[in-house]
């Protein structure tokens, strides 16, 4: 049940509207997982809540063992989750029908954009200044720098929070999924 919704899944209309269903078990999501470069069949996956789902994203227990492949898998899961969530909300608010082929294209396009940014050389001017296209504070390396991403959503006295902290080498220091909190 998501935010008090007792309805069926807005993507496939054949199961209850729950987080695990939307991000893992929905026929639309399954089609994307399987058609993706990772060829994931998740029918037998032992995941029973949101925290375990996030843990699986970080340790899928198949293929991606090399660190760069693992990073790419994590990126894929983050982008896929974002696109699926937006598709679900578009279906919820506007009745837009979700198309797995189009969603996978959007996911692959967004993952490609992220990967291009990650490998793109830092633009430096003749005077040695980093060009303003990039945020300098993000690029200047500092061993003490910690970057934190937080997202939260709130409705009907229920709060959900997700937090990721990375050090200057991009190692994950903290991964928190708090859901749901009630006042």
Tell me which residues touch Zn ion (CB under 5 A).
9, 11-12, 26
Burial class (CB in 10 A: 0-12, 13-18, 19+), 74: middle
The least CB distance from residue 108 to Zn ion, in Å, is 21
The least CB distance from residue 104 to Zn ion, in Å, is 16
| Minimum CB distance to Zn ion smaller for 8 or for 68 | 8
Alpha-carbon gap, residue 62 to 127, rounded angstroms: 47
| Minimum CB distance to Zn ion smaller for 8 or for 122 | 8
The least CB distance from residue 25 to Zn ion, in Å, is 7
Alpha-carbon gap, residue 16 to 5, rounded angstroms: 9
The least CB distance from residue 11 to Zn ion, in Å, is 4
| Minimum CB distance to Zn ion smaller for 7 or for 168 | 7
62 DSSP 8-state letter: S
Sequence-distant (≥ 6) Cβ neighbours of residue 37 within 8 angstroms: 76
The least CB distance from residue 19 to Zn ion, in Å, is 11
Which residue do the tokens 């939307």 mark?
Answer: 22
Task: Provide the token pair at 56.
Answer: 């699986």
| Minimum CB distance to Zn ion smaller for 20 or for 74 | 20
Alpha-carbon gap, residue 31 to 141, rounded angstroms: 40
| Minimum CB distance to Zn ion smaller for 11 or for 54 | 11
């Amino acid at each position: 049940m998501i935010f008090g919704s007792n309805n069926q899944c807005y993507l496939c209309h054949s199961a209850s509207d729950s987080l695990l269903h939307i991000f893992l078990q929905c026929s639309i999501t399954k089609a994307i997982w399987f058609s993706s470069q990772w060829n994931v069949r998740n029918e037998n996956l032992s995941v029973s809540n949101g925290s375990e789902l996030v843990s699986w994203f970080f340790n899928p227990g198949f293929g991606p063992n090399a660190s760069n492949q693992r990073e790419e898998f994590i990126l894929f899961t983050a982008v896929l989750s974002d696109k699926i969530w937006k598709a679900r909300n578009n279906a919820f608010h506007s009745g837009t029908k979700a198309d797995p082929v189009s969603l996978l294209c959007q996911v692959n396009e967004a993952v490609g954009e992220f990967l291009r940014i990650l490998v793109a050389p830092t633009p430096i001017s003749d005077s040695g200044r980093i060009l303003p296209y990039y945020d300098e504070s993000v690029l200047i390396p500092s061993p003490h720098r910690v970057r934190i991403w937080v997202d939260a959503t709130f409705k009907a006295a229920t709060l959900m929070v997700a937090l990721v902290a990375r050090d200057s080498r991009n190692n994950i220091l903290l991964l928190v999924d708090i859901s749901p909190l009630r006042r």
